[in-house]
Amino acid sequence: MYRFTKLEAGETEASVGVTFFASDALIAYPSVAEDPTTPVSAFYTVRLKRLVDESGEDSKIDDSTPWYIYDFACSSRG
């Protein structure tokens, strides 16, 4: 599981944190799997189909919803 912070357009820090499981996302760049030494400050473009918000509730994005592209900064790995 990875903890990412969602970045809005023009922002360098985020106020909303989300968690996703690797099985629910495609990490487009950079690939954590290929380069586990990537600094946690690196930016990721993540294609998600399932988000879990801070309360642990699933978002409205699910298997019946088209995938969307989100830009995240990795704040920690777990």
Domain boundaries, the chain: 2-77
Residues 18 and 1: their CA atoms lie apart, in Å, by 11
Contact yes or no for 44/20 (Cβ under 8 A): no
Beta strand segments in the chain, E? 2-6, 17-20, 25-29, 43-48, 68-77
pLDDT of the residue at 49: 43
> What is the mean predicted confidence (pLDDT) over 5-11?
47
pLDDT per residue as tens digits for the range 11-59 = 433 333 444 444 444 443 344 445 555 444 444 444 444 444 445 555 5
